[in-house]
Amino acid sequence: MKKLIGTGVALVTPFEKDGAIDYKSLKKLLRHTANGGVDYFVVLGTTGESATLSRDEKADVLRFVLDNNPRKLPVVFGIGSNDTRHVLEEIHATDFTGVDAVLSVCPYYNKPSQEGVVMHFTAVADACPVPIIIYNIPGRTGTNITAETMLRLAEHPNIVAVKEASGNLEQCMKIAQGKPKDFLLLSGDDLMTVPLYSIGARGVISVLANAFPGIFARMKKYALEGQFEKASREQFRLLEINPLMYAEGNPTGVKQLLAEMGICGPHTRLPMAPASEELRKKIADAYAKSKRKG
């Protein structure tokens, strides 16, 4: 899956003020990120507020991205749930024409055992007609997929990568050390991108690449060339603004940043609330400072 090396942008789903999908702004976002150097699109992950979209809306957004893909980049589609049967139903109902892989999150809330995690993803991988990227984000799901479990799943021929957002560098190192050669370790945390590149990761699925695709393109270039000092300098440019993206939940922060940039509105769907006045000011100040630094 060489097409998944580098930066995948976890696209936001722009909304109008009334909650309707803002396709005009989505087209603008696709151009901004593609021209900025991302390597592929991730459509309707958690950053895309997939939990609040109907099945028809999801299909419409996916088809729009495929039809308005400026550089014909690979497309990854998010399908996940805490109900294995529901994931399988979604897979059977999806038209995968033009889709290169599926991003599927660890079942949340239920807190399955590690054996339950293996059984869940085995069933999903067996049923899916395109390769699976597992998304491990225990801070959201309540369950960590251990390195040992991930290495078991990596042996499945249709499980090709993990988006690792555990924040546990030792766990990531164990995956990097023990994984099959063609299995991709991808960062799921923007500020862990360069550290994970340094231990063998091959890319990142990023929130901030919605706004700053060029920074991630340069990080990839330098890291894959082994120029980690230069890659780190790019990473350091995100230090101030990154925590603001999550201060009031994702994608509230990044949508407010994109609004500052004139790419889309800041609107979210409940239960996500708009950014507070205090957060809006902090994001505006951080963005202005980033522009002065070039």
125: which 2 tokens?
Answer: 């991988």
d(CA 163, CA 188): 5
The count of structural domains within the chain is: 1
Percent of residues, the chain, with pLDDT higher than 90? 98
> pLDDT category, 1, cuts 50, 70, 90?
confident
pLDDT over 90 (residue 230)? yes
d(CA 140, CA 105): 10
Long-range Cβ contacts of 287-290 (<8 Å, 24+ apart): 287/241, 287/257, 287/260, 287/261, 289/240, 290/212, 290/237, 290/240, 290/241
Q: Looking at residue 111, what is its pLDDT?
A: 96
Domain-embedded: residue 83 = yes
Q: What are the tens digits of pLDDT across the range 255-264?
A: 999 999 999 9
Q: What is the mean pLDDT of the chain?
A: 97
Catalytic residue among 135, 197, 222, 287: 135
Domain-embedded: residue 134 = yes
pLDDT over 80 (residue 293)? no
d(CA 147, CA 174): 6
CB atoms < 10 A from the CB of 157, how many? Answer: 9
Catalytic, 23? Answer no
**Mean pLDDT in residue range 257-273:** 97
d(CA 50, CA 278): 27
Domain-embedded: residue 250 = no
pLDDT over 80 (residue 202)? yes
205: left (phi over 0), alpha (psi -120 to 50) or beta: beta
Domain-embedded: residue 265 = no
Domain holding 147, by residue range, is: 2-227
Q: What are the tens digits of pLDDT across the range 57-91?
A: 999 999 999 999 999 999 999 999 999 999 999 99
Catalytic, 163? Answer yes
Q: Looking at residue 290, what is its pLDDT?
A: 85
Q: Looking at residue 294, what is its pLDDT?
A: 62
Domain-embedded: residue 54 = yes
Domain-embedded: residue 19 = yes
Domain-embedded: residue 276 = no
Closest CA to 43 of 15, 56, 62: 62
Q: What's the CATH number where 138 sits?
A: 3.20.20.70
Catalytic residue among 163, 220, 255, 282: 163
* 0.85 exceeded by pTM: yes
d(CA 36, CA 10): 14
Q: How, if at all, do strands 6-10 and 203-206 pair?
A: parallel
Domain-embedded: residue 237 = no
**Mean pLDDT in residue range 127-131:** 98
Q: What are the tens digits of pLDDT across the range 3-18?
A: 999 999 999 999 999 9
d(CA 93, CA 158): 19
